[in-house]
Amino acid sequence: MSKYWNERIHRLEPYVPGEQPKDKRYIKLNTNENPYPPSPKVLAAIKEAVNDRLRLYPDPNSDDLRAALAARFGLSSENIFIGNGSDEVLAFSFMTFFSPDRPVMFADITYSFYKVYANLCSLQPNVIPLDEEFKLPVKAFCESSGGVVIPNPNAPTGQGISIESIQKILEADPDRVVIIDEAYVNFGGESVIPLTKEYPNLLVVQTLSKFGALAGIRVGFAFGDPELIQGLNRLKNSINSYTIDCLALAGAKAAIEDDEYYRQMAERVIRTRENTVNSLAKIGFTIIPSEANFIFITHPQYDAESIFHQLRDKGILVRYFHQPRISNYLRVSIGSDEEMNAFIVAMKDLV
Ligand code: PMP
């Protein structure tokens, strides 16, 4: 007979994160990290926190960080929730806003953690296929459901969705929460944070992991109507008062206050992305137009999985996708110019 807990354990279908190799010689283009370091002001703020704050619990309400974000985005602190990475913000949102009674909508293909959260919360997923060009079918998302989650730009395609389309989806049913996951929006997309003032059913989620070059300290945000933010706080405070440590709070605040540094760095990544796209097109790849810090590519003659393994042998890590609706694709994060030059040289050898 099985143990009482076996069924509970096997009900979970956990996400499998991208590889984080111990060997530093790899060129890591597999988890969409930023190739550049965080702002020097972030390092200074973290060092100061190391000296001053380790003995104490961190601020459970992240007041200083929320104030910095409120100033940055022209909102009030009541519009802002902070989480331990945007994955935590998304998980808390699924737990708070969606119910097993009504299906939650997301696309196929999209960020694969949504399915994991739906399963965790015993929700029924209503999975909407992207169209042939990998665009989001806006009309289908306007149909009735218990909630919606859409990354803009989408992952792993990098394709963006227009603000007008998001407005249509928001207006189709004001009684359901629509989450727009803007993990990659700073690499060429347009944020809908300003729409949170108009639409009480809109929750915008962002992260410092990509644009902020701070995947290692785990800070994510949600922006929305105070009622939604209060909901997230009630959930969080039912689990753990101290989800963000004092070093992360200090570093994140300094990052938010150094907008100029990050703007320049994003421009660099975008320039490198465009150069990489041009080089890949010349050797026969098809590239989905990307507004993110990664590209989604395929070659009519070559197998993505085989390219993945051969690149790995050459010390370059990327991701490959073999799914029923998206087969033979590689997702490649945009690294530094040097890293992308090495990647292109390797690709020229392979195709
Ligand atoms: N949303 C999307 C679309 C992502 O690709 C990721 C990164 N894997 C996240 C959210 C989560 O990022 P983090 O938890 O590092 O903030």
Please tell me if the CB atom of residue 155 comes closer than 6 angstroms to any atom of ligand 1. Answer: yes
Please tell me if the CB atom of residue 87 comes closer than 6 angstroms to any atom of ligand 1. Answer: yes
Cα separation, 42 vs 145, whole angstroms = 41
Nearest Cα residue to atom 4 of ligand 1: 183
- What are 178's strand-pairing partners? 148, 202
| CB-count exposure of residue 123 (10 Å: 0-12, 13-18, 19+) | buried
Please tell me if the CB atom of residue 209 comes closer than 6 angstroms to any atom of ligand 1. Answer: yes
Please tell me if the CB atom of residue 207 comes closer than 6 angstroms to any atom of ligand 1. Answer: yes
Cα separation, 201 vs 173, whole angstroms = 9
Report CA(114)–ligand 1 centroid distance (Å).
Answer: 11
Average pLDDT, the chain: 96
Give percent of the chain with pLDDT exceeding 70.
100
Per-residue pLDDT at 1 exceeds 70? no
What confidence tens digit (pLDDT) does each residue in 101-143 have?
A: 999 999 999 999 999 999 999 999 999 999 989 999 999 999 9
Please tell me if the CB atom of residue 277 comes closer than 6 angstroms to any atom of ligand 1. Answer: no
Question: In ligand 1, which atom is closest to the CA atom of 154?
Answer: 3
Q: Mean pLDDT over residues 199-215, rounded?
A: 98
Interface predicted TM-score (ipTM) over 0.95: yes
- What are 220's strand-pairing partners? 83, 207
Give percent of the chain with pLDDT exceeding 90.
94
What confidence tens digit (pLDDT) does each residue in 250-271 have?
A: 999 999 999 999 999 999 999 9
**One-letter amino acid of 333:** S
Structure tokens at 200: 């009480």
This prediction's pTM: 0.97
Please tell me if the CB atom of residue 86 comes closer than 6 angstroms to any atom of ligand 1. Answer: yes
Please tell me if the CB atom of residue 33 comes closer than 6 angstroms to any atom of ligand 1. Answer: no
Report CA(104)–ligand 1 centroid distance (Å).
Answer: 19
Q: Mean pLDDT over residues 142-158, rounded?
A: 97
